[in-house]
Amino acid sequence: MKKNILIIPGDGIGQEVTTWGKKVLQKIGENYGHEFSFDEAIMGHTAIEATGNPLPDETLAKAKASDAILFGAIGHIKYDNDPSAKVRPEQGLLKIRKELGLYANLRPILLFDELLDASSLKPEILQGTDILFFRELTGDVYFGEKNRNEDNTFASDLMNYNRYEVERIARKAFDAARTRSKRLCSVDKANVLETSRLWREVVQEIAKEYPDVETEHMFIDNAAMQLVKNPKKFDVVLTANLFGDILTDEASQIAGSMGMLASASVGDGTGFFEPIHGSAHDIAGQNKANPLASILSAALMLDISFGLQEEAKAVTNAVAETLKAGWRTGDIANSSTETSKILGTQEMGEKVLEFIK
């Protein structure tokens, strides 16, 4: 198979971890006889420094011309501490999602048994958890009109959804539920928000097309609580942009660390694969970042964009073997981990490569 992959490392640890996602794709290409070619582009703070634009036209053109994109993370401490900055790294990410029509963000909560003790939750609560989140990505407060009055005493963000935006992601989530345990939980705040009432109405309508899928509706506050109380009760979770952002960070603790969770953003064109974590200023440039989320994002690319299930499995198996052999990065180590088994980004990436058959 011939594929043209664009790597967008972005900022901070994004640059460190995508190196390993890319190396894994190269190794899979060699082992399975695929011709993967790679190009690179800038985005975020790095792009603002170089061009003044968080998403330069050249990056967008390369993105549109590629078969799939492996992205790292964007963000810089400078902007976190200056909310008034007009040009911001995250504008690049929001724009590329919009331009590529990436409306569905899939976040599998993949729990490796070896990491049961890396979570702050009890192993018996976690064991057997297998959740697939569908987070809507093009609507909600992220894209609604934003306002601030002149004397800085009032601000507002408009939360809005169009019916078609709910319909298209709901169908994707129901389709996925059919291939899994046929259970779907739609999360909203329909007791308070008008957008959520539309969301629930649309999901109820689409649910009639999937009578074989058991559909449940849950309020976001309850879902946030149930997720840590009894995560096994969830299978496919369908939710809006803001609620999905928060719930999936919470769910990262089921998998042990932000450094373990991959995601796929898909729509009608090029797929976009990225860890759920950010640029992590606190550990950037120190060879401390866990590269597994980027490596697992590469596995999602192989599976979802290229339909290479066997190759994707080879990557997740290599990650499982690495963990089984006791290797850990700092974020997933605990008090019983031998110090000699705690690795840096580079060493962990090398271990996974060794385990790829």
Binding mask 92-121 for ligand NAD (x = CB under 6 A): -x----------------------------
Angle, helix 89-99 to helix 57-65, in steps of 10 degrees: 40
Largest distance between two CA atoms of the chain: 62
CA 136/CA 238 separation, integer angstroms: 8
Asked about 142 being catalytic, the answer comes back as yes
Catalytic-residue membership of 341: no
Among the listed residues 186, 239, 248, 290, the single contact to ligand NAD using CB under 6 A:
290
Least distance to ligand NAD from the beta carbon of 115, Å? Answer: 13
Is there binding between residue 278 and ligand NAD (CB under 6 A)?
Answer: yes
Q: Is 189 a catalytic residue?
A: yes
| Nearest Cα residue to 75 out of 118, 46, 112, 32 | 46
27 in catalytic set: no
Nearer to ligand NAD, 48 or 280 (CB): 280
Residue at 245: amino acid letter: D
Out of 108, 231, 259, 267, which residue is the one contacting ligand NAD (CB under 6 A)?
259
Q: Which two structure tokens, joined as six digits, stand for 208?
A: 């009639």
Q: Within 33-92, which residues bind ligand NAD (CB under 6 A)?
A: 73-76, 80, 90
Task: Provide long-range contacts, Cβ within 8 A and 24+ apart, for 202-208.
Answer: 202/163, 202/166, 202/167, 202/170, 203/166, 203/170, 203/238, 206/167, 206/170, 206/171, 206/174, 207/174
Neighbours of 65 (CB within 10 A): 11
Tell me how far, at minimum, the Cβ of 33 lies from ligand NAD, in Å: 31
Residue 261, helix vs strand vs coil: coil
Residue among 67, 117, 130, 249 flagged as catalytic:
249
| Of 3, 23, 172, 189, catalytic | 189
Choose, by CB under 6 A, the member of 115, 266, 331, 349 that binds ligand NAD: 331
Stretch that binds ligand NAD, among 30-38, 150-158, 172-180, 279-287 (CB under 6 A): 279-287
Q: Which of 82, 113, 221, 282 is catalytic?
A: 221
Looking at the DSSP bridge assignments, the partners of residue 157 are: 146
Q: Examine the residue annotation and report whether 161 is marked as an active-site residue of this protein.
A: no
Residues 6+ apart with CB under 8 A from 84: none
Query: Which residues are part of the catalytic machinery?
Result: 142, 189, 221, 245, 249
Kindly list the residues in this chain that would bind ligand NAD in the complex (CB under 6 A).
13, 17, 73-76, 80, 90, 93, 258-259, 277-283, 289-290, 293, 331
